[in-house]
Amino acid sequence: MPPGLRPRLSGARRAVFTTDIDGRADFLGLAEDSWKPEPLPTALVPMAQSHLAELERYLEPVSPEEEGRVLARIMALLEHYPGRARSDMVEQALALDWADDLCEYPAWAVGEACRRWRRDPSKAWRPTPGQIRAICDELVAEARLHRDRLKLVLRASR
143 vs 24: which has the higher pLDDT: 143
Global pTM value: 0.83
Whole-number mean pLDDT of the chain? 90
Check residue 119 and give its pLDDT: 96
Neighbours of 141 (CB within 10 A): 10
Quick check: 47 and 4 in contact, CB under 8 A?
Answer: yes
The H or E element that residue 13 is part of is strand 13-19
Give the Cα separation of 29 and 134 in Å (integer).
21
Q: Identify which of 8, 4, 2 has the alpha carbon closest to the alpha carbon of residue 150.
A: 8
Q: Identify which of 111, 115, 114, 106 has the alpha carbon closest to the alpha carbon of residue 140.
A: 106
- How far is CA 33 from each of CA 28, 39, 95, 145, rounded to the nearest angstrom? 15, 19, 41, 14
Is residue 13 pLDDT above 70, yes or no?
A: no
Nearby residues of 97 by Cβ (< 8 Å), 6 or more positions away: 129
Is residue 115 pLDDT above 90, yes or no?
A: yes
| Top mean-pLDDT range of 8-12, 23-27, 104-108 | 104-108
% pLDDT > 70, the chain = 94
1-12-59-43 Cα dihedral, nearest 10 degrees: -40
Nearby residues of 32 by Cβ (< 8 Å), 6 or more positions away: 10, 11, 12, 13
Check residue 83 and give its pLDDT: 80
Check residue 34 and give its pLDDT: 80
Query: What residue spans define the domains of the chain?
Result: 58-140
